[in-house]
């Protein structure tokens, strides 16, 4: 969605409220107190009222906007900007585009949106053939002595990168190549075998063929996955290489340069936005509507 579409579609706050009301109504509201699904709309309270026990669910409750005082229109406009580009916005650039006086609410809003992107992607496991590698990302500080301590300190983070990657063979030439589908990126604390085992268990289907390098991190994955192949990059066939994770890591590093500074604490959020957009790279203009679903129903399984 571009800015002209946005202005036409959402001319004021009430059009935004109506839009969210409809979206929530389509999927159904469940009363937190009695599980009843029949609700009335109270326009002046911007709330759904349970038909059996009268419990009220505000329009923002249970969504990414819960506990936020910002108008819904500001949220929708932020989502428009964020989904309009494959690159990331810095929070100060987003603040400027939104015309907001204070930086802090924009910063918090953006990180909440990144979190729901991550939650959405966490619903899915990778399957078939999966490449897995680890990388150090984030800007290295020039002098270790100048590394700021405490909040906002910056050092390089270790990131585990996983990619679904399928071998395609050209029937005429017999040459093979690999095509990629979905990616996952997770900040990890260390390169220990246990860490890799936990990630594989959580995010990769056990029936997959897992491809890694020869690192000791991946020395014992037999309990987590059926087939584990160590990289044989020099072979003629070249089926088992880490082509797509290496491309993704290189693109991630370029992407993170957009940001002036990323604290280690927030790193996963940046990874989540990068991965969310990467996994939906062919969605184009539909990305806005997808993000709306993620923002309203962080745990709803039906739609990607
Ligand atoms: Zn109720």
Cβ contact 137:117 at 8 Å: no
pLDDT < 70: residue spans in the chain: 139-154, 232-240, 298-304
CA–centroid distance, 115 to ligand 1, in Å, is 29
Nearest residue to 163 via CA among 290, 274, 82, 285 = 274
Strand-pair category, 157-169 with 176-188: antiparallel
How many residues would you count in the chain?
Answer: 304
List, for residues 43-92, the tens digit of each pLDDT value: 999 999 999 999 999 999 999 999 999 999 999 999 999 999 888 889 99
CA–centroid distance, 53 to ligand 1, in Å, is 4
171, two tokens:
């029937």
| Rounded Cα distance, 47 and 59, in Å | 5
Q: Which domains does the chain have, with CATH numbers?
A: 3-122+286-295 (no CATH), 129-140+153-262 (3.30.420.10)
List, for residues 5-19, the tens digit of each pLDDT value: 999 999 999 999 999
CA–centroid distance, 28 to ligand 1, in Å, is 13
| Rounded Cα distance, 23 and 37, in Å | 15
CA–centroid distance, 117 to ligand 1, in Å, is 30
CA–centroid distance, 48 to ligand 1, in Å, is 10
Q: What is the pLDDT of residue 241?
A: 80
Strand-pair category, 227-230 with 209-212: parallel
- 158: which strand partners? 136, 188
| Rounded Cα distance, 52 and 38, in Å | 8
CA–centroid distance, 40 to ligand 1, in Å, is 11
CA–centroid distance, 266 to ligand 1, in Å, is 37
10, two tokens:
């959402």
CA–centroid distance, 26 to ligand 1, in Å, is 18
Helices and strands in the chain, H and E counts: 9, 8
Where residue 278 falls (left for φ over 0; alpha for ψ -120 to 50; beta otherwise) is: alpha
List, for residues 251-261, the tens digit of each pLDDT value: 999 999 888 78
CA–CA distances in Å: residue 213 to residues 67, 166, 243, 268: 45, 17, 11, 23
CA–centroid distance, 22 to ligand 1, in Å, is 20
Cβ contact 158:187 at 8 Å: yes
CA–CA distances in Å: residue 21 to residues 7, 40, 49, 70, 170: 19, 11, 12, 17, 50
């Amino acid at each position: 969605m571009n800015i002209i579409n946005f202005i036409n579609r959402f001319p004021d706050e009430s059009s935004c409220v109506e839009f969210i009301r409809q979206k929530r109504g389509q999927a159904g509201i469940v009363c937190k107190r009695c599980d009843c699904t029949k609700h009335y709309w109270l326009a002046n309270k911007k709330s759904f009222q349970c038909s059996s026990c009268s419990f009220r669910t505000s329009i923002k409750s249970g969504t990414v906007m819960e506990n936020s005082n910002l108008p819904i229109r500001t949220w929708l406009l932020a989502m428009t900007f964020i989904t309009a580009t494959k690159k990331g916005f810095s929070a100060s650039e987003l603040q400027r585009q939104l015309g907001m006086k204070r930086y802090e609410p924009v910063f918090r809003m953006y990180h909440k949106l990144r979190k729901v992107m991550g939650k959405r992607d966490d619903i899915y496991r990778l399957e078939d053939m999966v490449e897995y590698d680890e990388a150090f990302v984030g800007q290295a500080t020039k002098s270790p002595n100048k590394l700021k301590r405490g909040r906002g300190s910056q050092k390089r983070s270790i990131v585990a990168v996983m990619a679904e990657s399928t071998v395609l063979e050209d029937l005429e030439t017999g040459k093979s190549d690999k095509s990629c589908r979905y990616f996952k990126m997770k900040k990890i604390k260390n390169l220990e075998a246990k860490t890799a085992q936990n990630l594989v268990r959580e995010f990769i289907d056990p029936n997959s063929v897992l491809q890694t390098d020869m690192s000791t991190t991946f020395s014992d994955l037999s309990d987590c996955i059926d087939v584990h192949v160590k990289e044989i990059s020099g072979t003629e066939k070249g089926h088992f290489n880490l082509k797509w994770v290496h491309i993704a890591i290189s693109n991630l590093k370029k992407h993170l340069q957009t940001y002036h500074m990323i604290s280690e604490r927030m790193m996963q959020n940046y990874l989540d936005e990068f991965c969310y957009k990467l996994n939906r790279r062919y969605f184009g203009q539909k990305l806005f509507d997808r993000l709306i679903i993620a923002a309203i129903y962080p745990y709803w399984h039906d739609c990607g």
